[in-house]
Amino acid sequence: MDARYVEYLGVPHYTFLIVYTLAALSVLALLYGLSKTYRGVGLLAVTKQGVRRLDKSLRFVAEFLSHYRFLSRQVFGGTVHLLLIVGLGISLIGTIIVSVVHYTGVEYGGLFFLVMRFLLDVAAVFIIYGSLAGIYRVYAGRERYGKLANQYILVLLGFLAIAVTGMIMRRYRVDYYLGGPSPWSPLSYLVPPVTHEVYLAAYFVHIAVAFALIAVSPLVMLRHMYLAYANYLLVDRPLGELTTPFELEKVMESGEAEITVGVKKKGEWRGIHGIMFDACTRCSRCQDVCPAFAAKRPLSPMSLITKIAEAKNDADLFEVGITEDEVWACTTCGACMYQCPVYIRHVDYIVDLRRALVFESKVDQKKADLLMSVSQYHNTLMQANVGRHDWLRELGVKHISENPQAEYLLWVGCMGSFDGRAREIVKAFVKILEKAGMLDKVAVLGDEETCCGDPVRRLGEESRFQELVLNNKQIFEKYGVKKLVTICPHGYNTFKNEYPRFGVKLEVYHHVEVLQRLVEEGKITVRGSLESLTIHDPCYLSRHNKVVEPQRKIVVKLGALKEPPRHGERTFCCGAGGANYWYDVPEEKRISHIRFEELAGTGAETIVTQCPFCNAMLTEAKRAKDSAVNVKDIAEVVAEKLA
């Protein structure tokens, strides 16, 4: 039988007027809703940026279709979401085809028509299962979904109604098109024959619910679709770069007497940050990967975003449920942002709240000591900066003024300069450079080196951070520094991702990248062994900057690599980031201990680190647990195995 599509089959002649009216009303409501959803940003601005950055729009679509953010942590929830998307997507394609046929007059029949009949039945199964499973999931987790629970259930019931009525309509039509149940419409074997009256009822319920969902989508929980796109499109910063609330250099030039730093009220956030929190679906993926939450610290990223979203614009956030300990508990590891399927920047909100606390001097003694140390000593460890790198002279590393032709500035960092354990890492790296004949290619700043600014910025002291940036900028320009290598992922991230905004453009390398290149180019040779090794990936190296492969290419040459469950870009924090190394937060179990247990659980003899802070945190955990597992930086492991 040669089946052909028949427009408005079996419905009254005036049906097209109802369809056009509902379509027009739903589009108007959609545009109105989008204008509300994109308040402070503008629907037109989002549209223009979407066209201007078509490449980014396409990447968003590709990421969304891959669904990896949904599936990676919650297989059941991610699968339900994917089935709904696929089912609704097929239904939308079917509707678009019918619209094209209507306006162009092309014939819609034959094999293509039959295949679409089959796919629409598949879509119905996906939507029915997805809706029922989704309702179960929301009801079971209704405490987590809070005020959104009823919206979720009503929307899912709407999807269910669309699928069931569509199935009834196709059962009626299969008799006309194919003379009865057919393999091209498998569900027709399950649904009994449909009377004309039932068909009409199903038809009008179907279009009414579909247009209603389109109309209200920007104003109910479905708005996360539109906001996710805006969040992805309008934020052009890497995960490791924080917002810049002002530029100190311009403030000083303008002579502006006072500036307000930080945010305490929801209404004080502007632009995309004024609406980003509304995208939260309460899926808890951020909470599931949060090290602070795992350690039973007083922080859930999901809960914090929910409190902001539900607060009144003029309410003091610290008086409506957000606590200071909650804000200080974050390690800024970025796991929440990396995992969030709607691209919320949780850390941006946390740091803005910290900035407000610092601006009002609401910091405890340890945080105040850190700020004082940077202000008075120009480093974070309360050490006199004089003679900072004298010990490196004994190793043959010259000051940049003595070696102006040096290709790289070796940024030793506060830990590498003053901490005894971290100095051993620097010494191992220098030993390798000497072996490779590269010692003359590096130089240091000596007493002119100060803090890179990472801890004070993440603590919330933006002014002090920018003072450090401007000071370092002058020094880099003074010596013509073009390339920089550091042993610290925090400095690496700051120089690479945050300094460029202030006019500092450098080629920035982490020492593991240099080591890998030396091995690959044959400038150093390493001996393999039977030693089993596991890698702890620092958050600021692997997740924030996606440096994952160099360390693995090295380690597999040194021994047997045993990966922990959470590794690479999905690593688990050591607990030191976000300036947490310098202060304490209430917790049931130290984050570093959780991580050490996971790494030791691989059965490896040695934990390989690539960060002096990670090394310090995991070494403390090793001592606390009286473990025989070694904790060494990758430079130390390579230095030990030089051929």
Percent of the chain with pLDDT over 70: 100
The mean per-residue pLDDT over the stretch 85-105 comes to 93
User: CA dist 440 to 379, 436, 437, 496, 638, Å?
Assistant: 26, 11, 8, 24, 20
Q: What are the pLDDT digits (tens) for 421-447?
A: 999 999 999 999 999 999 999 999 999
Domain contains 425: no
Nearest CA-CA partner of 567 in 591, 548, 550, 553:
548
Whether residues 82 and 190 fall in one domain: yes
Q: Rounded to whole angstroms, how far apart are CA atoms 6 and 12?
A: 14
Q: What are the pLDDT digits (tens) for 32-42?
A: 999 999 998 99
Domain contains 49: yes
Which tokens go with 420?
A: 């005894």
Whether residues 174 and 247 fall in one domain: no
Q: What are the pLDDT digits (tens) for 173-228?
A: 999 999 999 999 999 999 999 999 999 999 999 999 999 999 999 999 999 999 99
Given 185, 207, 227, the domain boundary residue is 227
The mean per-residue pLDDT over the stretch 361-368 comes to 96
Which pLDDT score, from 0 to 100, does residue 513 have?
A: 98
Whether residues 124 and 272 fall in one domain: no
Q: Does the structure show a pLDDT above 70 at 26? A: yes
Whether residues 54 and 202 fall in one domain: yes
The enclosing domain of 349 has a CATH number of 1.10.1060
What's the mean pLDDT when you consider all of the chain? 95
Q: Does the structure show a pLDDT above 60 at 72? A: yes
Question: 3-state class of 6 per DSSP?
Answer: coil
Q: Does the structure show a pLDDT above 70 at 335? A: yes
Q: Which domain holds residue 599?
A: 518-640
Which pLDDT score, from 0 to 100, does residue 65 have?
A: 86
Q: How confident is the model at residue 317 (pLDDT cuts 50, 70, 90)?
A: very high
H/E segment holding residue 421: helix 420-435
Question: 3-state class of 525 per DSSP?
Answer: coil
Q: How many domains does the chain have?
A: 3
Q: What are the pLDDT digits (tens) for 462-506?
A: 999 999 999 999 999 999 999 999 999 999 999 999 999 999 999
Contact 577, 333 (CB under 8 A): yes
Whether residues 81 and 191 fall in one domain: yes
Q: Does the structure show a pLDDT above 60 at 1? A: no
Contact 8, 104 (CB under 8 A): no
Q: How confident is the model at residue 257 (pLDDT cuts 50, 70, 90)?
A: low
How many CB atoms are located within 10 Å of the residue 113 CB? Answer: 18
How many residues comprise the chain? 643
Domain contains 387: no
Which pLDDT score, from 0 to 100, does residue 74 have?
A: 83
Whether residues 252 and 191 fall in one domain: no
- Amino acid present at 305: I
Given 178, 204, 227, the domain boundary residue is 227
Q: Rounded to whole angstroms, how far apart are CA atoms 190 and 344?
A: 44
Q: How confident is the model at residue 252 (pLDDT cuts 50, 70, 90)?
A: confident
The mean per-residue pLDDT over the stretch 562-585 comes to 97
Q: Rounded to whole angstroms, how far apart are CA atoms 71 and 79?
A: 7
- What is the pTM assigned to this prediction? 0.93
Question: 3-state class of 533 per DSSP?
Answer: strand
Q: Does the structure show a pLDDT above 90 at 243? A: yes
H/E segment holding residue 408: strand 408-411
- Alpha carbon 158 to its chain's center: 31
Percent of the chain with pLDDT over 90: 92
Of the ranges 71-75, 522-526, 546-550, which one carries the lowest mean pLDDT score? Answer: 71-75
Contact 285, 73 (CB under 8 A): yes
The enclosing domain of 636 has a CATH number of 3.40.50.10700
H/E segment holding residue 535: strand 532-535
Whether residues 90 and 166 fall in one domain: yes
Which pLDDT score, from 0 to 100, does residue 256 have?
A: 73
Q: How confident is the model at residue 333 (pLDDT cuts 50, 70, 90)?
A: very high
68 or 609, which is more confident: 609
Domain contains 408: no
User: How do strand 532-535 and strand 507-510 relate by DSSP bridges?
Assistant: unpaired
The mean per-residue pLDDT over the stretch 546-558 comes to 97
Question: 3-state class of 561 per DSSP?
Answer: strand
Which pLDDT score, from 0 to 100, does residue 70 have?
A: 86
The mean per-residue pLDDT over the stretch 536-564 comes to 98
Q: Does the structure show a pLDDT above 90 at 259? A: no
Domain contains 155: yes
Q: How confident is the model at residue 253 (pLDDT cuts 50, 70, 90)?
A: confident
Domain contains 106: yes
Q: Indicate the Cα dihedral angle 192, 198, 203, 205, nearest 10°.
A: -110
Whether residues 311 and 220 fall in one domain: no
Given 315, 345, 362, the domain boundary residue is 362
Q: Rounded to whole angstroms, how far apart are CA atoms 462 and 450?
A: 16
Whether residues 280 and 159 fall in one domain: no
Whether residues 60 and 185 fall in one domain: yes
Instruction: Determine the Cα angle at 274 with ends 268 and 275, to 5°.
Output: 155
Domain contains 316: yes
Q: Rounded to whole angstroms, how far apart are CA atoms 624 and 298?
A: 23
List, as one string, the DSSP characters of 314-350.
TSBGGGTT--HHHHHT-----HHHHH-TT---HHHHH
Residue for token pair 């074997």: 189
Which tokens go with 476?
A: 């880099």
Domain contains 511: no
Whether residues 163 and 300 fall in one domain: no
Whether residues 253 and 113 fall in one domain: no
